[in-house]
């Protein structure tokens, strides 16, 4: 999509972009101002990732974030996204217990929070859940490779699909998710060759994060791409700004100016008409002036 195009991105546009060889852009966002910025920058899809848990809410990983928290932040993102498609991550525990509960929770994201699609992690037992959601009218994005909700079972946050056998499992899972009705597939932390192979063999588009240049699109975490955490530098991450350092510098400058009484200055203060001041002084007696006050 053209960044200047203001027409809403529809689900079917993603297939058209893949067919036309146009790379798809996706970014996470968790609140209205960031969604608005991503939308204005022209991203095709905004993911309200369950990375909300660790990126914004201060948890160690994605497991603690709840349905209610995901709904709350998805509503905020939906208010800021006038063009990009909004995808909400189904949090851990919201789709594993039963298919019925998964459909109920998926429907809530569309009905109550303004999302156009949901994302869930894994294949295997979740393939049937993807089918049930799709049949219920809830569009689904799949997620394979490193699946953070089960990172503990995968040996931690590390590259997946390095052996022929592990790569085959991801490949087969991708085909199963496509057959079950997923309309997009996120591939996280897999070798570039595997990312390209899956992308070539699937009809639906793939979105990579640490999956090389051969996927049909890319996704990054908003705060990571903007350098909110200067020391967070995994190999797959390219930082396009150093906002963490810049924000710290700005906040430090604000504290220093307040302490030095150089903020607020005349330009950031409001005047009171002299005659009103005189009337007040007449009522109260001389008030005296402190630094920065009008004499």
Site for ligand KIV, rule CB under 6 A: 28, 47, 49-51, 89, 186, 188, 209, 219, 221
The answer to whether 222 touches 30, Cβ cutoff 8 Å, is yes
**Nearest distance from residue 65's CB to ligand KIV, in Å?**
9
- In the complex, minimum distance from the CB of residue 217 to ligand KIV, in angstroms, rounded to a whole number: 11
Please identify, using beta-carbon distances, which residue of 49 and 181 lies nearer to ligand KIV: 49
With respect to ligand KIV, which residue has the nearer C-beta, 102 or 219? 219
Phi, psi of 282 (to 5 degrees): -60, -35
How many Å from the N-terminal Cα to the C-terminal Cα in the chain?
58
Nearest to 26 by CA among 245, 264, 185: 185
Q: How far is the CB of 90 from ligand KIV (least distance, A)?
A: 11
Strand partners, 220: 27
Catalytic residue among 101, 176, 188, 257: 188
Could you give the CA distance from residue 211 to residue 218 in angstroms, rounded to a whole number? 9
- Please report, for the chain, how many H helices and E strands are present, in that order: 10, 8
Kindly state the smallest distance separating residue 188's Cβ from ligand KIV, in Å.
6
Which of 50/178 has CB closer to ligand KIV? 50
Closest to ligand KIV by CB, 28 or 116: 28
8 A C-beta contact, residue 41 and residue 3: yes
Closest CB to ligand KIV: residue number: 49
d(CA 11, CA 169) in angstroms, rounded, equals 27
242 is catalytic: no
Q: List b or e across 122-156, with b for residues whose CB sees 16 or more CB atoms inside 10 angstroms.
A: bbeebbebbbbbbeeebbbbbbbbbbbbebeebee
Which sequence positions are flagged as catalytic? 188
């Amino acid at each position: 999509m053209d960044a200047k195009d203001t027409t809403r991105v529809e689900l079917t546009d993603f297939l058209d972009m893949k067919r036309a060889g146009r790379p798809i852009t996706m970014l996470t966002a968790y609140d209205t101002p960031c969604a608005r910025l991503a939308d204005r920058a022209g991203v095709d899809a905004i993911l309200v990732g369950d990375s909300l848990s660790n990126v914004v809410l201060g948890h160690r990983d994605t497991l603690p974030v709840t349905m209610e928290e995901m709904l709350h932040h998805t509503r905020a993102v939906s208010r800021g996204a006038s063009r990009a498609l909004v995808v909400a991550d189904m949090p851990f525990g919201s789709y594993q217990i039963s298919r019925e509960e998964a459909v109920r929770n998926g429907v809530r994201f569309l009905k109550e929070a303004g999302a156009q699609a949901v994302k869930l992690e894994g294949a295997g037992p979740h393939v049937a859940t993807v089918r049930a959601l799709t049949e219920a009218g809830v569009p689904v994005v799949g997620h394979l490779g490193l699946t953070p909700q089960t990172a503990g079972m995968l040996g931690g946050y590390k590259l997946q699909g390095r052996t022929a056998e592990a790569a085959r499992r991801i490949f087969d899972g991708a085909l199963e998710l496509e057959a079950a009705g997923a309309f997009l597939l996120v591939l996280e932390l897999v070798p570039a060759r595997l990312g390209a192979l899956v992308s070539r063999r699937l009809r639906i588009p793939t979105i990579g994060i640490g999956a090389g240049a051969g996927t049909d699109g890319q996704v990054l975490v908003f705060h990571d791409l903007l350098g909110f955490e200067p020391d967070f530098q995994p190999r797959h991450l390219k930082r396009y700004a150093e906002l963490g350092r810049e924000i710290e510098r700005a906040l430090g400058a604000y504290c220093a100016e307040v302490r030095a009484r150089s903020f607020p200055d005349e330009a950031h203060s409001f005047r009171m008409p002299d005659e009103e001041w005189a009337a007040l002084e007449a009522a109260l007696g001389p008030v005296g002036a402190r630094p920065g006050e009008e004499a």
